[in-house]
A and B are shown apart, each in its own frame.
Chain A
Amino acid sequence: MAAQVKYGIAACLLTIAAASPVQAHFGMIIPSDPMVDQVDPRELSLELSFSHPFESTGMDLARPAAFDVTTGGETQSLLDTIEEHPVLGGAGWRSSFTPDRPGTYVFSMEPQPYWEPAEDVFIVHHTKTYVSAFGDDSGWDAELGLPTEIVPLTRPFALWASNVFQGIVKVDGAPVPYAEVEIERYNSAPLSAVPGDLMITQTVKADASGVFTYAAPVDGWWGFAALSTASEQMEKDGAMKDVELGAVLWVRFEAWPK
């Protein structure tokens, strides 16, 4: 076989492979501002989605089972505030919220189970993000008591790009030793090129105490997703299927001023 033909076949195979890469799923809550100041618009807008953030493609997020804000130990449902809003080409939701006092506001979403036939699994990503209001960062390390969550050990806002970020992965309130954490940047538009598919999703493992560390190389919203398998299965077409639980946290890193 001529070398040119071989290269042609290889190129075709590559094209087919590129059309269906393994993409990481991320629940997403992206607020308009992670630090609300009194001279900013005090009303936050929030986008809720289930997406492939690095590749700027959205999937369809059914109406979430729960969407809450927690501040000062008090939790309030915001489910009645959401309205349909496409995100990255998929069905998503948006909401608005105005902090009325200084402090940290933790927005969290529990989606309905998402059936992923390609992986023969249900996916439930418990997703959250932290917003500071009016210069007060108290409560930045709040733990919500979700079935699984990343509890920040680094303040999850007001970070410079390249800062190290640390969090502890928990399931049912207990640290998960050596938990694997997938990390992606949210690109609102696709990047022109990356050196390889492995560059899309960064992967780190937690240590024996469930603590992971990552330094975002550039500014932007970065998502951290620690995945585990739920102890209970769910039924699909008469068969019991695994449920992937995700502890997802979104953190924005800021560009150094020029």
Chain B
Amino acid sequence: MTRTLQTLMLATLLALTGAAPAHAHQLNVFASVAGETITVEGKFSSGRPAMAGAVKVYDSANALLHETQLSADGTATLPVPANVTGIKIEVIAADGHSNYWIMTAEDLAAGAAK
């Protein structure tokens, strides 16, 4: 399955679960993998980090796998979940703004090789 198709499937899932769209005071979420660790970054469109907020990781069946909190620098780290074909990482900032980042199996595999 191509990465794009995987991404679209996860995006569809996300839409069905009612994730919040971007707004003017936009929260941007990005995540990257290095080895066994995922680093999540939450940043507002102003450029300022989201200093507090919940981080939730779901699998492709929308089951909650992991939950943690952003640090004051707007980041969080978490372990790469085992046996997943892709995940979505949702960040809900303390002010209620939320957004997400999708990681496909391809993304996870590429990051694991770093």
Contact = CB atoms under 8 A, between A and B. Distances in A.
A38 B7 contact: yes
Interface string B72-103: 00000000000000000000000000010110
B102 A39 contact: yes
Interface residues of A, number: 13
27 contacts: A38-B7, A38-B101, A38-B102, A39-B7, A39-B8, A39-B11, A39-B102, A40-B4, A41-B4, A42-B3, A100-B32, A101-B30, A101-B32, A102-B28, A102-B30, A102-B43, A134-B28, A134-B30, A135-B22, A135-B26, A135-B28, A135-B99, A136-B28, A136-B30, A136-B43, A137-B45, A138-B47
Contacts of B7: 38-39
Interface residues of B, number: 16
A98 to B, nearest CB: 10
Contacts of B47: 138
Interface string A99-115: 01110000000000000
Interface string A24-42: 0000000000000011111
Interface string B19-53: 00010001010101000000000010101000000
A39 B11 CA distance: 7
Contacts of A138: 47
Interface string A127-144: 000000011111000000
A100 to B, nearest CB: 8
Interface string A207-232: 00000000000000000000000000
Interface in B1-15: 3-4, 7-8, 11
B50 to A, nearest CB: 13
A160 to B, nearest CB: 16
B109 to A, nearest CB: 15
Given A38-B7, A38-B101, 12 more contacts: A39-B7, A39-B8, A41-B4, A42-B3, A101-B30, A101-B32, A102-B30, A102-B43, A134-B30, A135-B26, A135-B99, A136-B30
A100 B43 CA distance: 16
Nearest to A39: B11
B1 to A, nearest CB: 14
A140 to B, nearest CB: 11
Contacts of B28: 102, 134-136
A87 B49 CA distance: 42
Contacts of B32: 100-101
B86 to A, nearest CB: 12
A103 B100 CA distance: 16
